[in-house]
Amino acid sequence: MKNILKIKNIKLGNGAPKICVPVIEKTEKEIIKYIKYINKLPIDIIEFRADFYLEDIIESEEKNINDSLIDLSKNIKKVTNKPILFTIRSDKEGGKIKNNFYSKIINIYKTVIENKCFDLIDLEILNLKEKDIKNIIKLSKEKNIKTILSNHNFDKTPSKKYIISLINKMIKLKCDIVKVAYMPKNKKDVIILLEAISEIKDFPIIAISMGKLGTITRIFGSVITFASAKSSSAPGQLEAMKLKYILDNIYDNFI
């Protein structure tokens, strides 16, 4: 791929997909402990699934959530130099956060960007207003933070036409990476996803067909692939050490 995207010392689109392990722990103590553990593994990126952390505190008016996230990001940086992907996954797309906290979520995104807390951020294209997406992407570029526009469906795989149309819309919104993750009902659904992304040229893509049927998409077709360590955030994630072994063997010997 011509469009190589560099995040810290990681080059996306160059060689094998880069391995990302999600952190779904709920408390700061658990988060730091888990990151210390996975930091020793042969992985490239760490995804901080902030929706798990925020789930029990987002309703609270007593605690300053933004200050807590800033402090947490500083503590995370003390235990790892790996790029951190910041994700707030909505309940509509397999996460923990309800839409009635929309204004708080937008404020959180702006805070973590303005304070350069993390290296990448994930934005759900179908659950955020377009004007907010544009503003967040613009602010991210000013702070040299990369953006992923994403869409997840844990029930089905959309049509090839829909996937291509949605990805092109993401690209027009000037994100750095597009991510689509869908549940296949049969092998044809996996092929639909792979055919759709094959028509997108020279743009960083993460394309996941979930579950066992979509295992092949954990190995080919994406600039980032998600793996598990002690726990997984989505069906079909391979264990990080096993995935590293597979990728090294395939890409060193055949690609």
CA angle centred on 158, ends 109 and 150, rounded to 5° = 15
The residue among 40, 38, 8 whose CA lies nearest residue 21 is: 38
Write out the catalytic residue numbers.
Answer: 152, 179
Kindly report the number of other CB atoms within 10 A of residue 138's CB atom. 12
Crossing angle of the two packed helices 65-79 and 28-38, in degrees rounded to 10:
30
76 CA to centre of own chain: 17
